[in-house]
Amino acid sequence: MDSEIPAPLLAVLERREMLTQPVRAALGSLPWRLQVVGDGREIIPEGFRPTEVCLLLDGMAADMRYLASGDRQITTLHVPGDFVDLHGLFVKVLDHGVLALTDCQIAVVRHEDVRRAMLDDPAIADLVSTMIARGAAIQRTWIVCMGRKDPVRRIGHLVCEMSARVLAPRHGQGHRFEFPITQAELADLAGLSVVHTNRALQELRATGLVAWQGANVVIHNWTSLATFAGFDPTYLGLVQDAG
């Protein structure tokens, strides 16, 4: 089980910190259950009373909130190796939904099994707490980006963040990655209209720092892009930054 289901999670975590063999064994022994969620389907609906924890194994997902008008705001992106709802261990009702932005594969385990593992091994409890804290750090950083950065630098920061998060488990592949997000989804994340998002993307491409065609993103000069966007990877908690 350790090598079959939790491997993406372990790969991401071990870029950030070393896991002891007992922790690896504890994660591997949990009774995970695999599910497939299609592109555009809800993984968790807003207002849901969670009883399980979901680990994203493949694909991309997003937290989002809907307004009464029908408009939505994407608040967090999830990549393989992310738990999409760990805070559900501590709240009765989720104040947001989780949507599959691509076809996704998830591994699900019951809250009671996670809580038992946390009680049996304080290292598992520390791991859960650390991941929740890092998720909060990402959201705090995006509050700053939304409030204080212009649209071009806001999207440039997102490119840096996703490069760091997507490529973290894989060394030596350069700054080239797949980012399967539509312009409408990018607009919902950046708090912009689709028109302003398209304009910001054109300006970002014009810097020569990034090539973005469809789902394929290439960063030509990581240091310059990070400086341009004001990106500091400390909030991601990686052992090494993406540069």
Q: Is it the case that residue 1 has pLDDT exceeding 80?
A: no
Domain count, the chain: 2
Q: Which of 102, 131, 160 is the last residue of a domain?
A: 131
Q: Is it the case that residue 176 has pLDDT exceeding 60?
A: yes
For residues 176 and 104, membership in a common domain is answered with no
For residues 221 and 182, membership in a common domain is answered with yes
Task: Extract the tokens encoding 57.
Answer: 């194994």
Would you say 180 and 135 are in contact if contact means Cβ atoms under 8 Å apart? no
**Overall average pLDDT of the 143-165 stretch:** 95
> Rounded distance, CA 148 to CA 144, Å?
6
For residues 11 and 97, membership in a common domain is answered with yes
pLDDT at 242: 42
pLDDT at 235: 93
For residues 22 and 127, membership in a common domain is answered with yes
Would residue 155 count as lying in a domain?
Answer: yes
Would residue 175 count as lying in a domain?
Answer: yes
- CATH (domain of 175): 1.10.10.10
Cα 114 versus chain centre, distance: 21
For residues 123 and 155, membership in a common domain is answered with no
User: What range defines the domain where residue 219 resides?
Assistant: 151-236
- CATH (domain of 36): 2.60.120.10
Q: Which pLDDT band holds residue 25 (cuts at 50, 70, 90)?
A: confident
For residues 110 and 204, membership in a common domain is answered with no
For residues 110 and 209, membership in a common domain is answered with no
- The model scores a pTM over 0.85: yes
For residues 165 and 51, membership in a common domain is answered with no
For residues 59 and 114, membership in a common domain is answered with yes
**Overall average pLDDT of the 18-25 stretch:** 82
Measured over the CA atoms of residue 162, residue 166, residue 168 and residue 174, the dihedral's sign is negative
**Overall average pLDDT of the 209-237 stretch:** 94
For residues 98 and 155, membership in a common domain is answered with no
pLDDT at 101: 96
β-pairing verdict for 216-219 and 210-213: antiparallel
For residues 49 and 123, membership in a common domain is answered with yes
Is 178 strand, coil or helix?
strand
Would residue 241 count as lying in a domain?
Answer: no
Average pLDDT, the chain: 88
> Rounded distance, CA 107 to CA 90, Å?
20
Comparing 108-117, 129-138, 141-150, 166-175, the range with the smallest average pLDDT is 166-175
For residues 203 and 114, membership in a common domain is answered with no
